[in-house]
Amino acid sequence: MKRSTTYELDPGPKRILWIIIWACVINFVIHLFPISLLSLFDIYPSAFAQEIALDHTGQLQEKLNRANATVEMLIGLVLQMTLAALMVAWVMIREVFRGLARGRQAIVLKLDSYVLLLGLNGFSWGLLMVLILKGFAAFEGSRLGSAPQFTLFAVAGLVLLSLILAFAFLVDPAKAQANLSNMRATRRANGW
């Protein structure tokens, strides 16, 4: 049996990764609106359920739904960033082993790909951790502080971009590197 010389994923793991990507996109779209999945199924802690029953204005339930939606979004983003970081680590480890096994000329990724993958991942993790640890108050006095929901979705967009980019380099690193190089060449030719 001939050994494969390419390092592409089999169709099975590709399908699983596509399902994960779509689940992340659906999570992003669902949370465009302050909808809590817990509130959709009427799952509340017992203390809140009693207070909600006594609140006739509906303000408490609305505040609780917004808070739950934000927490659910942050939990989803942490899981997505963890997945993106694992995929980037896998891409890096694969490149190291490819270089060790077949020499430096076998390495597919260039320096700009490493900078893009690690930089975007690091920046996304940094913003996400600031948002989790300090809250929206950390951005007060800036444009991001004036619109907390926009801040959340800006971070979510970066996380989703990081996840998609890591997925592209994981599935077919040569094609992803070629596309990145073509994009850079086109931008330079256009004077950007």
Q: What is the DSSP string of 144-168?
A: HHH-HHHHHHHHHHHHHHHHHHHHH
**Nearest C-alpha neighbor of 121 from the set 77, 74, 153:** 77
- Check residues 121 and 40 and name the one with the higher pLDDT: 121
The full set of domain ranges for the chain reads: 11-189
pLDDT of 6 above 60: no
Q: What's the predicted TM-score (pTM) here?
A: 0.72
pLDDT of 63 above 50: yes
The pLDDT assigned to 113 comes to 87
The pLDDT assigned to 163 comes to 85
Q: Predicted confidence band at 89 (pLDDT cuts at 50, 70, 90)?
A: very high
The pLDDT assigned to 107 comes to 84
The pLDDT assigned to 44 comes to 67
The pLDDT assigned to 12 comes to 64
CB 73 within 8 A of CB 107: no
